Protein backbone atom coordinates (compact mmCIF):
# COMPACT_ATOMS: atom_id res chain seq x y z
CA UNK A 1 0.00 0.00 0.00
CA UNK A 2 1.22 3.53 -0.79
CA UNK A 3 2.57 5.92 1.80
CA UNK A 4 0.23 8.82 2.40
CA UNK A 5 0.58 12.20 4.05
CA UNK A 6 -1.65 15.08 5.08
CA UNK A 7 -1.88 18.02 7.40
CA UNK A 8 -3.76 16.61 10.40
CA UNK A 9 -4.36 19.85 12.26
CA UNK A 10 -6.64 22.65 11.01
CA UNK A 11 -5.14 24.72 8.24
CA UNK A 12 -5.13 27.91 10.26
CA UNK A 13 -2.57 29.86 12.19
CA UNK A 14 -1.79 28.25 15.52
CA UNK A 15 0.95 27.23 17.92
CA UNK A 16 2.01 24.10 16.09
CA UNK A 17 0.82 22.03 13.12
CA UNK A 18 1.10 18.29 12.59
CA UNK A 19 1.84 16.65 9.25
CA UNK A 20 1.16 12.93 9.43
CA UNK A 21 2.77 10.31 7.20
CA UNK A 22 1.59 6.68 7.15
CA UNK A 23 2.74 3.65 5.20
CA UNK A 24 5.74 1.42 4.70
CA UNK A 25 7.88 4.31 3.47
CA UNK A 26 6.92 6.71 6.26
CA UNK A 27 10.33 6.55 7.94
CA UNK A 28 12.19 6.91 4.62
CA UNK A 29 10.21 10.03 3.79
CA UNK A 30 10.84 11.50 7.24
CA UNK A 31 14.53 10.59 7.05
CA UNK A 32 14.93 12.62 3.86
CA UNK A 33 13.49 15.82 5.24
CA UNK A 34 14.16 15.66 8.98
CA UNK A 35 17.62 15.87 10.58
CA UNK A 36 17.37 14.86 14.25
CA UNK A 37 19.50 16.71 16.82
CA UNK A 38 18.63 14.50 19.75
CA UNK A 39 19.30 11.05 18.33
CA UNK A 40 21.65 9.62 15.69
CA UNK A 41 19.13 8.83 12.92
CA UNK A 42 15.45 8.65 12.06
CA UNK A 43 15.87 5.05 10.90
CA UNK A 44 17.14 4.12 14.36
CA UNK A 45 14.17 5.61 16.20
CA UNK A 46 11.98 3.17 18.11
CA UNK A 47 8.20 3.36 18.14
CA UNK A 48 6.62 5.88 20.54
CA UNK A 49 9.75 8.06 20.58
CA UNK A 50 10.29 11.55 19.35
CA UNK A 51 13.19 13.73 18.35
CA UNK A 52 13.81 17.41 18.06
CA UNK A 53 15.53 18.53 14.88
CA UNK A 54 15.60 20.44 11.64
CA UNK A 55 13.19 20.20 8.73
CA UNK A 56 15.25 20.60 5.55
CA UNK A 57 14.58 21.09 1.86
CA UNK A 58 17.71 19.81 0.09
CA UNK A 59 19.91 21.02 2.91
CA UNK A 60 18.08 24.33 3.27
CA UNK A 61 16.40 24.86 6.63
CA UNK A 62 12.62 25.18 6.41
CA UNK A 63 11.77 25.09 10.12
CA UNK A 64 12.74 23.32 13.29
CA UNK A 65 10.31 20.75 14.63
CA UNK A 66 9.58 17.52 16.44
CA UNK A 67 9.30 14.11 14.81
CA UNK A 68 7.23 11.39 16.46
CA UNK A 69 7.62 7.80 15.30
CA UNK A 70 5.14 4.94 15.57
CA UNK A 71 6.20 1.51 14.39
CA UNK A 72 3.79 -0.90 12.69
CA UNK A 73 1.58 -2.41 13.89
CA UNK A 74 1.49 -0.13 16.95
CA UNK A 75 0.05 3.07 15.53
CA UNK A 76 -3.31 4.60 14.74
CA UNK A 77 -3.33 3.16 11.20
CA UNK A 78 -1.46 -0.02 12.06
CA UNK A 79 1.28 1.05 9.63
CA UNK A 80 4.55 2.88 10.25
CA UNK A 81 3.56 6.45 11.10
CA UNK A 82 5.69 9.58 11.36
CA UNK A 83 4.30 12.84 12.62
CA UNK A 84 6.17 16.05 12.05
CA UNK A 85 5.13 18.98 14.19
CA UNK A 86 6.32 22.28 12.85
CA UNK A 87 5.48 25.87 13.74
CA UNK A 88 1.81 26.55 13.19
CA UNK A 89 1.92 28.94 10.27
CA UNK A 90 -0.18 28.18 7.22
CA UNK A 91 2.67 28.65 4.76
CA UNK A 92 5.27 26.72 6.70
CA UNK A 93 2.82 23.85 7.26
CA UNK A 94 1.98 23.58 3.57
CA UNK A 95 5.69 23.78 2.78
CA UNK A 96 6.41 20.76 4.99
CA UNK A 97 3.52 18.88 3.39
CA UNK A 98 4.96 19.62 -0.04
CA UNK A 99 8.33 18.34 1.11
CA UNK A 100 6.72 15.04 2.09
CA UNK A 101 5.01 14.83 -1.30
CA UNK A 102 8.28 15.56 -3.11
CA UNK A 103 10.00 12.83 -1.15
CA UNK A 104 7.82 9.87 -1.92
CA UNK A 105 4.52 10.27 -0.08
CA UNK A 106 1.14 10.63 -1.78
CA UNK A 107 -1.65 12.95 -0.69
CA UNK A 108 -4.14 11.22 1.62
CA UNK A 109 -7.81 11.09 0.67
CA UNK A 110 -10.46 12.29 3.12
CA UNK A 111 -10.54 9.87 6.06
CA UNK A 112 -7.81 7.68 4.59
CA UNK A 113 -5.81 7.30 7.81
CA UNK A 114 -8.90 6.02 9.59
CA UNK A 115 -9.86 3.88 6.61
CA UNK A 116 -6.44 2.22 6.78
CA UNK A 117 -6.89 1.73 10.51
CA UNK A 118 -10.10 -0.13 9.65
CA UNK A 119 -8.52 -2.20 6.88
CA UNK A 120 -5.75 -3.15 9.30
CA UNK A 121 -8.28 -4.35 11.83
CA UNK A 122 -7.77 -1.53 14.34
CA UNK A 123 -11.36 -0.28 14.10
CA UNK A 124 -14.74 -1.49 12.90
CA UNK A 125 -16.81 0.68 10.59
CA UNK A 126 -19.00 1.83 13.48
CA UNK A 127 -15.90 2.71 15.51
CA UNK A 128 -14.54 4.68 12.57
CA UNK A 129 -17.82 6.59 12.43
CA UNK A 130 -17.49 7.24 16.16
CA UNK A 131 -14.10 8.86 15.55
CA UNK A 132 -15.96 11.39 13.47
CA UNK A 133 -18.58 11.81 16.19
CA UNK A 134 -15.80 12.48 18.72
CA UNK A 135 -14.51 15.27 16.52
CA UNK A 136 -18.00 16.68 16.06
CA UNK A 137 -19.09 16.35 19.71
CA UNK A 138 -20.14 19.66 21.21
CA UNK A 139 -21.03 18.64 24.73
CA UNK A 140 -20.35 16.18 27.51
CA UNK A 141 -23.15 13.72 26.60
CA UNK A 142 -22.23 13.70 22.94
CA UNK A 143 -18.58 13.04 23.80
CA UNK A 144 -19.44 10.29 26.27
CA UNK A 145 -21.63 8.57 23.68
CA UNK A 146 -19.02 8.82 20.96
CA UNK A 147 -16.41 7.44 23.33
CA UNK A 148 -18.60 4.47 24.16
CA UNK A 149 -19.09 3.63 20.51
CA UNK A 150 -15.43 4.16 19.74
CA UNK A 151 -14.56 1.72 22.45
CA UNK A 152 -16.76 -0.74 20.62
CA UNK A 153 -20.00 -0.84 22.59
CA UNK A 154 -22.22 -0.67 19.50
CA UNK A 155 -20.03 -3.11 17.62
CA UNK A 156 -20.11 -5.50 20.56
CA UNK A 157 -23.87 -5.48 20.81
CA UNK A 158 -24.40 -6.01 17.10
CA UNK A 159 -21.65 -8.57 16.88
CA UNK A 160 -23.28 -10.75 19.51
CA UNK A 161 -26.61 -10.88 17.67
CA UNK A 162 -24.92 -11.36 14.32
CA UNK A 163 -22.86 -14.28 15.60
CA UNK A 164 -26.01 -15.95 16.90
CA UNK A 165 -27.79 -15.45 13.60
CA UNK A 166 -24.86 -16.79 11.62
CA UNK A 167 -24.70 -19.85 13.85
CA UNK A 168 -28.42 -20.35 13.37
CA UNK A 169 -28.04 -20.01 9.62
CA UNK A 170 -25.35 -22.64 9.67
CA UNK A 171 -27.62 -25.08 11.48
CA UNK A 172 -30.54 -24.29 9.21
CA UNK A 173 -28.43 -24.71 6.09
CA UNK A 174 -27.11 -28.06 7.19
CA UNK A 175 -30.59 -29.20 8.03
CA UNK A 176 -32.19 -27.94 4.82
CA UNK A 177 -29.40 -29.21 2.55
CA UNK A 178 -28.81 -32.62 4.09
CA UNK A 179 -32.13 -33.76 5.49
CA UNK A 180 -31.09 -37.40 5.11
CA UNK A 181 -28.04 -36.95 7.35
CA UNK A 182 -28.62 -37.67 10.94
CA UNK A 183 -28.20 -34.08 11.99
CA UNK A 184 -29.95 -32.88 15.13
CA UNK A 185 -33.20 -31.32 13.96
CA UNK A 186 -33.41 -27.59 14.29
CA UNK A 187 -35.38 -27.12 17.44
CA UNK A 188 -38.23 -24.84 16.54
CA UNK A 189 -38.56 -23.49 20.03
CA UNK A 190 -34.89 -22.65 20.25
CA UNK A 191 -35.11 -20.98 16.84
CA UNK A 192 -38.09 -18.95 17.97
CA UNK A 193 -36.28 -17.86 21.13
CA UNK A 194 -33.18 -16.78 19.20
CA UNK A 195 -35.28 -14.81 16.76
CA UNK A 196 -37.25 -13.17 19.54
CA UNK A 197 -34.03 -12.12 21.20
CA UNK A 198 -32.62 -10.73 17.96
CA UNK A 199 -35.81 -8.76 17.31
CA UNK A 200 -35.69 -7.32 20.79
CA UNK A 201 -32.00 -6.37 20.68
CA UNK A 202 -32.30 -4.66 17.29
CA UNK A 203 -35.53 -2.96 18.42
CA UNK A 204 -33.83 -1.68 21.55
CA UNK A 205 -30.89 -0.37 19.54
CA UNK A 206 -33.29 1.43 17.24
CA UNK A 207 -35.02 3.06 20.17
CA UNK A 208 -31.63 4.10 21.56
CA UNK A 209 -30.57 5.44 18.22
CA UNK A 210 -33.27 8.10 18.53
CA UNK A 211 -31.56 9.27 21.68
CA UNK A 212 -28.21 9.17 19.95
CA UNK A 213 -29.49 11.35 17.14
CA UNK A 214 -31.13 13.65 19.63
CA UNK A 215 -27.90 14.27 21.48
CA UNK A 216 -25.98 14.73 18.28
CA UNK A 217 -28.31 16.88 16.24
CA UNK A 218 -30.25 18.62 18.97
CA UNK A 219 -33.71 17.87 20.26
CA UNK A 220 -36.34 18.79 17.70
CA UNK A 221 -38.64 20.99 19.77
CA UNK A 222 -41.85 22.83 18.93
CA UNK A 223 -43.13 25.74 20.99
CA UNK A 224 -46.90 25.57 20.70
CA UNK A 225 -49.91 27.32 22.21
CA UNK A 226 -52.72 29.58 21.22
CA UNK A 227 -52.04 33.16 20.07
CA UNK A 228 -50.58 35.70 22.48
CA UNK A 229 -49.64 33.31 25.28
CA UNK A 230 -45.97 34.32 24.96
CA UNK A 231 -44.43 31.64 22.71
CA UNK A 232 -42.17 34.06 20.87
CA UNK A 233 -41.17 35.75 24.12
CA UNK A 234 -40.21 32.31 25.44
CA UNK A 235 -38.30 31.49 22.26
CA UNK A 236 -36.28 34.70 22.64
CA UNK A 237 -35.68 33.97 26.31
CA UNK A 238 -34.27 30.53 25.49
CA UNK A 239 -32.12 31.86 22.67
CA UNK A 240 -30.83 34.74 24.73
CA UNK A 241 -31.54 37.25 21.98
CA UNK A 242 -34.55 38.66 20.16
CA UNK A 243 -35.16 36.41 17.18
CA UNK A 244 -38.96 36.23 17.01
CA UNK A 245 -41.20 39.27 16.75
CA UNK A 246 -43.20 39.87 19.91
CA UNK A 247 -46.29 42.11 19.99
CA UNK A 248 -49.50 42.28 21.94
CA UNK A 249 -51.37 41.46 18.71
CA UNK A 250 -52.67 37.89 18.65
CA UNK A 251 -51.46 36.18 15.48
CA UNK A 252 -48.06 37.87 15.32
CA UNK A 253 -46.03 34.80 14.40
CA UNK A 254 -47.08 33.25 11.11
CA UNK A 255 -44.06 31.36 9.87
CA UNK A 256 -42.14 28.67 11.68
CA UNK A 257 -39.05 30.34 13.16
CA UNK A 258 -36.23 27.85 13.73
CA UNK A 259 -33.11 28.37 15.79
CA UNK A 260 -30.86 26.26 18.00
CA UNK A 261 -30.44 26.94 21.71
CA UNK A 262 -28.12 25.29 24.13
CA UNK A 263 -29.35 24.74 27.67
CA UNK A 264 -26.73 23.15 29.87
CA UNK A 265 -25.45 20.06 28.06
CA UNK A 266 -28.44 19.74 25.78
CA UNK A 267 -29.01 21.32 22.42
CA UNK A 268 -32.56 22.12 21.34
CA UNK A 269 -33.66 22.88 17.80
CA UNK A 270 -36.49 25.24 18.64
CA UNK A 271 -39.40 26.05 16.35
CA UNK A 272 -41.55 29.00 17.33
CA UNK A 273 -44.90 28.55 15.62
CA UNK A 274 -48.06 30.46 14.87
CA UNK A 275 -50.61 30.45 17.68
CA UNK A 276 -53.05 27.64 16.99
CA UNK A 277 -56.62 28.87 16.48
CA UNK A 278 -59.40 28.91 13.90
CA UNK A 279 -58.81 31.82 11.60
CA UNK A 280 -60.09 33.22 8.34
CA UNK A 281 -56.84 35.06 7.64
CA UNK A 282 -55.29 33.30 4.64
CA UNK A 283 -51.65 33.74 5.72
CA UNK A 284 -52.27 32.94 9.37
CA UNK A 285 -54.22 29.83 8.37
CA UNK A 286 -51.19 28.44 6.53
CA UNK A 287 -49.07 29.23 9.56
CA UNK A 288 -51.46 27.33 11.82
CA UNK A 289 -51.37 24.32 9.49
CA UNK A 290 -47.58 24.37 9.55
CA UNK A 291 -47.65 24.55 13.34
CA UNK A 292 -49.93 21.49 13.51
CA UNK A 293 -47.69 19.55 11.15
CA UNK A 294 -44.52 20.39 13.07
CA UNK A 295 -46.28 19.33 16.25
CA UNK A 296 -46.77 15.87 14.82
CA UNK A 297 -43.18 15.49 13.65
CA UNK A 298 -41.25 16.87 16.59
CA UNK A 299 -39.60 15.06 19.48
CA UNK A 300 -40.55 17.48 22.25
CA UNK A 301 -43.43 19.94 22.62
CA UNK A 302 -43.21 22.96 24.85
CA UNK A 303 -46.86 23.80 25.45
CA UNK A 304 -47.30 27.41 26.50
CA UNK A 305 -50.33 28.75 28.38
CA UNK A 306 -51.25 32.22 29.62
CA UNK A 307 -52.24 31.73 33.25
CA UNK A 308 -53.64 35.24 33.58
CA UNK A 309 -56.72 34.10 31.66
CA UNK A 310 -58.93 31.03 31.98
CA UNK A 311 -58.02 28.16 29.64
CA UNK A 312 -60.27 28.01 26.58
CA UNK A 313 -61.16 25.30 24.06
CA UNK A 314 -58.02 25.88 22.03
CA UNK A 315 -55.93 25.29 25.14
CA UNK A 316 -57.71 22.05 25.99
CA UNK A 317 -57.52 20.89 22.38
CA UNK A 318 -53.73 21.35 22.43
CA UNK A 319 -53.34 19.53 25.75
CA UNK A 320 -55.39 16.64 24.44
CA UNK A 321 -53.63 16.49 21.11
CA UNK A 322 -50.16 16.38 22.65
CA UNK A 323 -51.26 13.74 25.10
CA UNK A 324 -52.80 11.59 22.38
CA UNK A 325 -49.67 11.90 20.22
CA UNK A 326 -47.73 10.54 23.19
CA UNK A 327 -45.06 13.19 22.80
CA UNK A 328 -42.53 14.15 25.39
CA UNK A 329 -43.84 17.49 26.63
CA UNK A 330 -43.22 20.37 28.98
CA UNK A 331 -46.10 22.58 30.05
CA UNK A 332 -45.05 26.18 30.54
CA UNK A 333 -47.46 28.24 32.60
CA UNK A 334 -46.54 31.72 31.47
CA UNK A 335 -47.18 35.25 32.74
CA UNK A 336 -46.70 34.30 36.38
CA UNK A 337 -46.10 38.00 37.06
CA UNK A 338 -49.82 38.65 36.45
CA UNK A 339 -52.69 37.60 38.66
CA UNK A 340 -53.45 33.94 38.13
CA UNK A 341 -56.79 32.79 36.71
CA UNK A 342 -56.06 29.06 36.67
CA UNK A 343 -54.16 26.68 38.95
CA UNK A 344 -51.51 24.13 38.11
CA UNK A 345 -53.93 21.32 38.98
CA UNK A 346 -55.92 21.88 35.84
CA UNK A 347 -52.86 20.92 33.74
CA UNK A 348 -51.47 18.09 35.80
CA UNK A 349 -53.72 15.42 34.38
CA UNK A 350 -52.26 16.05 30.93
CA UNK A 351 -48.57 16.05 31.69
CA UNK A 352 -46.41 15.80 34.78
CA UNK A 353 -43.73 18.21 33.60
CA UNK A 354 -44.94 21.67 34.49
CA UNK A 355 -43.08 24.88 35.10
CA UNK A 356 -44.40 28.33 36.08
CA UNK A 357 -42.52 31.28 34.69
CA UNK A 358 -42.66 34.72 33.26
CA UNK A 359 -41.04 34.63 29.84
CA UNK A 360 -40.21 38.28 30.33
CA UNK A 361 -37.98 37.50 33.29
CA UNK A 362 -34.46 36.48 32.21
CA UNK A 363 -33.95 34.68 35.54
CA UNK A 364 -36.63 32.18 34.61
CA UNK A 365 -34.56 30.72 31.78
CA UNK A 366 -32.88 28.54 34.35
CA UNK A 367 -36.22 27.12 35.51
CA UNK A 368 -36.94 25.93 31.98
CA UNK A 369 -33.46 24.46 31.74
CA UNK A 370 -33.94 22.45 34.93
CA UNK A 371 -37.35 21.22 33.82
CA UNK A 372 -35.98 20.12 30.45
CA UNK A 373 -32.93 18.48 31.99
CA UNK A 374 -35.31 16.44 34.11
CA UNK A 375 -37.02 15.14 30.99
CA UNK A 376 -33.74 14.34 29.28
CA UNK A 377 -31.58 13.19 32.15
CA UNK A 378 -29.34 10.27 31.31
CA UNK A 379 -31.39 8.10 33.71
CA UNK A 380 -34.44 8.81 31.64
CA UNK A 381 -32.98 7.46 28.47
CA UNK A 382 -30.23 5.16 29.66
CA UNK A 383 -27.21 7.13 28.50
CA UNK A 384 -24.93 4.18 28.99
CA UNK A 385 -26.63 2.27 26.28
CA UNK A 386 -27.08 5.31 24.12
CA UNK A 387 -25.79 4.47 20.76
CA UNK A 388 -24.64 7.16 18.52
CA UNK A 389 -26.45 5.95 15.46
CA UNK A 390 -26.37 7.85 12.22
CA UNK A 391 -28.70 7.45 9.25
CA UNK A 392 -26.60 4.70 7.69
CA UNK A 393 -26.51 2.60 10.84
CA UNK A 394 -30.17 3.23 11.46
CA UNK A 395 -31.07 2.10 7.95
CA UNK A 396 -29.22 -1.19 8.48
CA UNK A 397 -30.90 -1.71 11.84
CA UNK A 398 -34.37 -1.04 10.43
CA UNK A 399 -33.82 -3.60 7.66
CA UNK A 400 -32.49 -6.20 10.08
CA UNK A 401 -35.32 -5.64 12.53
CA UNK A 402 -37.94 -5.90 9.77
CA UNK A 403 -36.56 -9.13 8.37
CA UNK A 404 -36.20 -10.70 11.80
CA UNK A 405 -39.78 -9.79 12.67
CA UNK A 406 -40.93 -11.25 9.36
CA UNK A 407 -38.91 -14.43 9.98
CA UNK A 408 -40.52 -14.83 13.37
CA UNK A 409 -43.97 -14.32 11.89
CA UNK A 410 -43.27 -16.83 9.12
CA UNK A 411 -42.21 -19.35 11.71
CA UNK A 412 -45.40 -18.78 13.71
CA UNK A 413 -47.47 -19.24 10.54
CA UNK A 414 -45.83 -22.57 9.92
CA UNK A 415 -43.96 -21.55 6.76
CA UNK A 416 -41.10 -23.74 5.55
CA UNK A 417 -37.70 -23.33 7.12
CA UNK A 418 -36.34 -22.36 3.68
CA UNK A 419 -38.48 -19.24 3.68
CA UNK A 420 -37.51 -18.40 7.25
CA UNK A 421 -33.85 -18.93 6.42
CA UNK A 422 -33.96 -16.42 3.57
CA UNK A 423 -35.23 -13.69 5.90
CA UNK A 424 -32.68 -14.43 8.60
CA UNK A 425 -30.05 -14.32 5.89
CA UNK A 426 -31.13 -10.81 4.84
CA UNK A 427 -31.13 -9.68 8.46
CA UNK A 428 -27.62 -11.01 9.06
CA UNK A 429 -26.43 -9.25 5.90
CA UNK A 430 -27.79 -5.91 7.11
CA UNK A 431 -26.04 -6.31 10.45
CA UNK A 432 -22.77 -7.25 8.78
CA UNK A 433 -23.12 -4.17 6.62
CA UNK A 434 -23.67 -2.09 9.74
CA UNK A 435 -20.40 -3.14 11.35
CA UNK A 436 -18.57 -3.03 8.03
CA UNK A 437 -17.74 -6.74 7.94
CA UNK A 438 -19.71 -7.12 4.75
CA UNK A 439 -20.07 -3.52 3.63
CA UNK A 440 -19.58 -2.89 -0.06
CA UNK A 441 -16.79 -0.65 -1.25
CA UNK A 442 -19.46 1.95 -2.06
CA UNK A 443 -20.73 1.97 1.52
CA UNK A 444 -17.23 2.27 2.96
CA UNK A 445 -16.35 5.08 0.53
CA UNK A 446 -19.51 6.92 1.44
CA UNK A 447 -18.66 6.75 5.14
CA UNK A 448 -15.11 7.99 4.71
CA UNK A 449 -16.02 10.70 2.24
CA UNK A 450 -17.57 12.54 5.18
CA UNK A 451 -14.24 12.69 7.01
CA UNK A 452 -11.79 15.49 6.70
CA UNK A 453 -8.41 15.09 5.03
CA UNK A 454 -5.78 14.23 7.61
CA UNK A 455 -8.10 12.14 9.79
N1 LIG B 1 -0.18 12.60 17.91
C2 LIG B 1 -1.32 11.94 17.75
N3 LIG B 1 -2.30 12.10 18.65
C4 LIG B 1 -3.48 11.42 18.48
C5 LIG B 1 -3.69 10.56 17.37
C6 LIG B 1 -2.62 10.42 16.43
O7 LIG B 1 -2.73 9.69 15.43
N8 LIG B 1 -1.46 11.12 16.69
N9 LIG B 1 -4.91 9.91 17.23
C10 LIG B 1 -5.48 9.62 16.01
O11 LIG B 1 -6.69 9.59 15.85
C12 LIG B 1 -5.72 9.71 18.42
C13 LIG B 1 -5.14 8.58 19.20
N14 LIG B 1 -5.22 7.35 18.46
C15 LIG B 1 -4.32 6.33 18.52
C16 LIG B 1 -4.80 5.04 18.48
C17 LIG B 1 -3.94 3.97 18.62
C18 LIG B 1 -2.57 4.19 18.78
C19 LIG B 1 -1.64 3.04 19.01
O20 LIG B 1 -0.43 3.24 19.12
N21 LIG B 1 -2.15 1.82 19.12
C22 LIG B 1 -1.35 0.65 19.44
C23 LIG B 1 -1.33 0.38 20.93
C24 LIG B 1 -2.66 -0.02 21.51
C25 LIG B 1 -2.59 -0.32 23.00
O26 LIG B 1 -1.63 -0.88 23.47
O27 LIG B 1 -3.62 0.04 23.67
C28 LIG B 1 -1.88 -0.54 18.67
O29 LIG B 1 -2.98 -0.46 18.13
O30 LIG B 1 -1.15 -1.51 18.62
C31 LIG B 1 -2.10 5.50 18.77
C32 LIG B 1 -2.98 6.58 18.64
C33 LIG B 1 -5.77 10.99 19.19
N34 LIG B 1 -4.45 11.58 19.38
N1 LIG C 1 -47.06 40.23 31.66
C2 LIG C 1 -46.48 39.36 30.84
N3 LIG C 1 -46.59 39.52 29.52
C4 LIG C 1 -46.01 38.63 28.70
C5 LIG C 1 -45.25 37.54 29.23
N6 LIG C 1 -44.79 36.82 28.17
C7 LIG C 1 -45.22 37.44 27.05
N8 LIG C 1 -45.96 38.54 27.36
C9 LIG C 1 -46.61 39.49 26.44
O10 LIG C 1 -47.63 38.80 25.73
C11 LIG C 1 -47.78 39.34 24.43
C12 LIG C 1 -47.70 38.22 23.41
O13 LIG C 1 -46.40 37.68 23.40
P14 LIG C 1 -45.82 36.83 22.19
O15 LIG C 1 -44.54 36.27 22.64
O16 LIG C 1 -45.82 37.61 20.95
O17 LIG C 1 -46.94 35.71 22.08
P18 LIG C 1 -47.07 34.52 21.03
O19 LIG C 1 -47.58 33.35 21.76
O20 LIG C 1 -45.81 34.35 20.28
O21 LIG C 1 -48.22 35.07 20.09
P22 LIG C 1 -48.51 34.72 18.55
O23 LIG C 1 -47.24 34.79 17.80
O24 LIG C 1 -49.48 35.76 18.14
O25 LIG C 1 -49.11 33.36 18.52
C26 LIG C 1 -46.69 40.36 24.28
O27 LIG C 1 -47.23 41.64 24.51
C28 LIG C 1 -45.71 40.01 25.37
O29 LIG C 1 -44.94 41.10 25.81
C30 LIG C 1 -45.15 37.42 30.64
O31 LIG C 1 -44.52 36.49 31.18
N32 LIG C 1 -45.78 38.34 31.40
MG1 LIG D 1 -45.34 34.53 18.35
Look at residue 222 and tell me whether its pLDDT is greater than 70. yes
What pLDDT does residue 188 have?
80
What pLDDT does residue 182 have?
61
Report the separation in Å between the CA atom of 273 and the middle of ligand 3, taken as the mean of its atom positions. 7
Look at residue 316 and tell me whether its pLDDT is greater than 60. yes
pLDDT digits (tens, 9 = 90+) for 69-110: 999 999 999 999 999 999 999 999 999 999 999 999 999 999
Region 440-453 average pLDDT: 89
Neighbours of 388 (CB within 10 A): 30
Residue 232 is assigned to a ligand binding site: yes
Give the residue, by CA position, lying nearest to ligand 1 atom 15.
76
Report the separation in Å between the CA atom of 234 and the middle of ligand 2, taken as the mean of its atom positions. 8
Look at residue 332 and tell me whether its pLDDT is greater than 80. yes
Residues of CATH 1.20.120.430 domain(s) within the chain? 140-213+390-449
Return the ligand number nearest the Cα of 304.
2
Report the separation in Å between the CA atom of 299 and the middle of ligand 2, taken as the mean of its atom positions. 24
Look at residue 274 and tell me whether its pLDDT is greater than 90. yes
Fold of 220-376: Rossmann fold (3.40.50)
Q: Which residues line ligand 1 (CB under 6 A)?
A: 70, 73-76, 83, 122
What pLDDT does residue 189 have?
84
Task: Report the complex ipTM.
Answer: 0.66
List CB contacts of 42: < 8 A, sequence separation 6 or more.
27, 30, 31, 34, 36, 51, 67, 69, 82
Q: Which of 4, 9, 76 to mutate to test the pocket of ligand 1 (most atoms within 8 A of CB)?
A: 76
Give the residue, by CA position, lying nearest to ligand 2 atom 21.
228
Return the ligand number nearest the Cα of 121.
1
Residue 31 is assigned to a ligand binding site: no
What pLDDT does residue 302 have?
98
What pLDDT does residue 187 have?
76
pLDDT digits (tens, 9 = 90+) for 29-77: 999 999 999 999 999 999 999 999 999 999 899 999 999 999 999 999 9
Residues of CATH 3.30.1360.120 domain(s) within the chain? 4-108
Residue 250 is assigned to a ligand binding site: yes
Look at residue 184 and tell me whether its pLDDT is greater than 80. no
Task: Give the right CATH number for 140-213+390-449 from 3.10.250.10, 1.20.120.430, 3.30.70.360, 3.30.70.1380.
Answer: 1.20.120.430
Q: What is the pTM of this model?
A: 0.69
Residue 248 is assigned to a ligand binding site: yes
Region 376-381 average pLDDT: 62
Task: Give the right CATH number for 4-108 from 3.10.20.30, 3.30.1360.120, 1.10.286.10, 3.30.750.24.
Answer: 3.30.1360.120
Report the separation in Å between the CA atom of 360 and the middle of ligand 2, taken as the mean of its atom positions. 8
Percent of the chain beyond pLDDT 90? 69
Report the separation in Å between the CA atom of 284 and the middle of ligand 3, taken as the mean of its atom positions. 11
Instruction: Show the 3-state SS of the chain.
Output: CCCEEEECCCCCCCCEEEEEEECCCHHHHHHHHEEECCCCCCCCCCCCEEEEEEEEECCEEEEEEEEEEECCCCCCCCCCEEEEEEECCHHHHHHHHHHHHHCCCEECCECHHHHHHHHCCCCCHHHHHHHHHHHHCCCHHHHHHHHHHHCCHHHHHHHHHHHHHHHHHHHHHHHHHCCCCCCCCCCHHHHHHHHHHHHHHHHHHHHHHHHHHHHHHCEEEEEECCCCCCHHHHHHHHHCCCCCCCCCCCCCCCCCEEEEEEECCEEEEEEECCCCCCCCCHHHHHHHHHHHHHHHHCCEEEEEEECCCCCCHHHHHHHHHHHHHCCEEEEEEECCCCCCCCCCHHHHCCCCCEEECCCCCHHHHHHHHHHHHHHCCHHHHCHHHCCCCCHHHHHHHHHHHHHHHHHHHHHHCCCCHHHHHHHHHHHHHHHHHHHCCCCCHHHHHHHHHCCCECC
Region 168-191 average pLDDT: 75
Return the ligand number nearest the Cα of 251.
2
Closest ligand 1 atom to 73 CA: 30
Residues of CATH 3.40.50.300 domain(s) within the chain? 220-376
Residue 440 is assigned to a ligand binding site: no
Q: Which stretch of 2-16, 122-136, 304-318 has the lowest confidence by average pLDDT?
A: 122-136
Amino acid sequence: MSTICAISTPVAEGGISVIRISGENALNVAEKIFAPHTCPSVAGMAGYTCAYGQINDNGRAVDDGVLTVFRAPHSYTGEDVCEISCHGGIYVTKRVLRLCLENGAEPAQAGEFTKRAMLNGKLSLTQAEAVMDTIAAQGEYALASANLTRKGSLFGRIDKVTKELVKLLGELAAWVDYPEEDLPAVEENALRESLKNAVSVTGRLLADSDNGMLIKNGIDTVIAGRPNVGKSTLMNLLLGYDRSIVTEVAGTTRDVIEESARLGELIFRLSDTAGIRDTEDKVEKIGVEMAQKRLEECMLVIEVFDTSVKPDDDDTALLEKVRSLGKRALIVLNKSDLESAVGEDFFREYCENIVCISAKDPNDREKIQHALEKIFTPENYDADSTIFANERQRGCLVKANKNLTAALEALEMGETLDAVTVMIDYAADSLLELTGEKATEAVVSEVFSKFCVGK
